[in-house]
Amino acid sequence: MRILFKPLLAPRVPLLWQRRITAAMMSLFPKPSDVHRLALLLDGIETEQLLAARQPDTEQGSAVLYWHGGGYAMGSPATHRSLTMRLAAQTGLPVIVPRYRLAPEHPYPAQLDDALRCLDALERDGSYPDGLFFAGDSAGGNLALTLALYCKDHGRTAPRGLVLISPWVDVLATYDDRNRQDALLSAAWIHQLQDAFVPKPLRATAFVSAAQAPLRGMPPTLLQFASDELLAPEIRALGNRMRSAGVAVTVDEAPGLWHDYQLHAGLVPEANRAIERIAAFVKGLDGPGTAPAGP
């Protein structure tokens, strides 16, 4: 990670090259063979639907609506298949991964707008009468959390549960990595992504940070992250705030690993086990009569 990935994710490397090289490298990560990929359009947004081979009926039950990470400036459904395909295989649920627009070509609020369009399309279609789980990693974790907060604040149907993998909780924070050992993230790169995603004139009103958002009434949540990652303090703080707000939150902190280590499933045993724990959390909530929200 320190030799191959971290030097690439730096302001001195043009973003276009960051996108191309990371996509090429991540395409080599091993993926399960018993998962089918289908192309969907959700209100015109290209989307990948992943179905386990044993999935008996794609028109019933619930599904996982997954938002890929990449700092809102890179990534796609293709880059995250090592994680999302395993999630489909182990939960037995359809995993739906939209290709939302990226910054800086499409800054905030394009990503939240795309998320709402996808959610509206799925609700109109009615294919998943038992509801949706929202999930995501890194910036995708921020989008899943922001979307759930939006639903709560606007009286919309709550997700059955939230799975937040190394979520970027406070997109507007200032970072200092001198005392952190993250093998992937650097403060300089995060600040580059902030400038690309949220132009400074919009920062006072941007709905992108959950650092101070009211959390009471949020659905059952799994926070999964690594102890050595740069975002660990804000993720721990989110877990504490959720507990204080009465949310049923599970905090799953892995020692000695890096930001978004779950993407290395198939290569790193700890990543495989982390996805198994995610699947157990989802399956534990995926049943008739399961309450979709916390107290």
pLDDT of residue 17: 95
Q: What is the pLDDT of residues 165-177, one digit of tens each?
A: 999 999 989 998 8
Number of domains composing the chain: 1
The yes-or-no verdict on residue 163 having pLDDT over 70 is yes
Residue 199, token pair as written in the block: 């132009």
Q: Which is more confidently placed, 118 or 53?
A: 118
Whether pLDDT at 256 is above 80: yes
Q: What is the mean pLDDT of the chain?
A: 92
271 domain residue, yes or no: yes
Q: Which domain holds residue 222?
A: 15-285
What's the angle, vertex CA 253, arms to CA 262 and CA 173, rounded to 5?
A: 85
At residue 289, what are phi and psi to the nearest 5 degrees? 85, 0
For residue 291, name the pLDDT band (cuts at 50, 70, 90): very low
Contacts of 11 (CB under 8 A, 6+ apart): 188, 189, 191, 192
Give the pLDDT band (50/70/90) at residue 201: confident
Per DSSP, the three-state class of 80 is helix
When pLDDT is cut at 50, 70 and 90, the band that residue 295 belongs to is very low
pLDDT above 70 for 191: yes
CATH number at residue 93: 3.40.50.1820
Answer whether residue 294 is part of any domain.
no
The mean pLDDT value for 233-252 works out to 97
The alpha helices in 129-212, defined as continuous H runs, are 139-153, 187-197
| Residue the block writes with tokens 């198994």 | 276
**pLDDT for 76-113, tens place per residue?**
999 999 999 999 999 999 999 999 999 999 999 999 99
Do the domain assignments include residue 9? Answer: no
The predicted pLDDT at position 127 comes to 87
Whole-structure pTM value: 0.94
What pLDDT is stored for residue 46 in this prediction?
98
- Answer yes or no: is 37 within a domain: yes
Return the biggest CA–CA distance within the chain: 52
- Does 294 score more than 50 pLDDT? no
CA-wise closest residue to 282 among 145, 132, 138: 132
pLDDT for 206 equals 67
* Residue 113 falls inside a structural domain: yes
Determine the Cα–Cα distance for residues 8 and 19; give it in Å rounded to an integer.
Answer: 10
Share of residues in the chain with pLDDT > 90 (%): 80
Measured CA to CA in angstroms, residue 165 lies from 7, 183, 202 at distances of 23, 16, 26
pLDDT band, very low/low/confident/very high, at 287 (cuts 50, 70, 90)? low
Predicted confidence band at 150 (pLDDT cuts at 50, 70, 90)?
very high
**Cα 32 to chain centroid, rounded:** 20
Note whether residue 24 is domain-resident.
yes
Other C-beta atoms closer than 10 Å to the C-beta of 203 total 14
- Kindly state whether residue 270 falls inside one of the protein's structural domains: yes
Q: Determine how many CB atoms are found less than 10 A away from the CB of residue 287.
A: 11
Note whether residue 6 is domain-resident. no
Residue type, 145: L
- What type of residue is 231? L
The per-residue pLDDT for 111 is: 96
- The distance from CA 37 to its chain's CA centroid, rounded to whole angstroms, is 19
Could you report the per-residue pLDDT of 208-240, keeping only the tens digit for each? 888 888 999 999 999 999 999 999 999 999 999
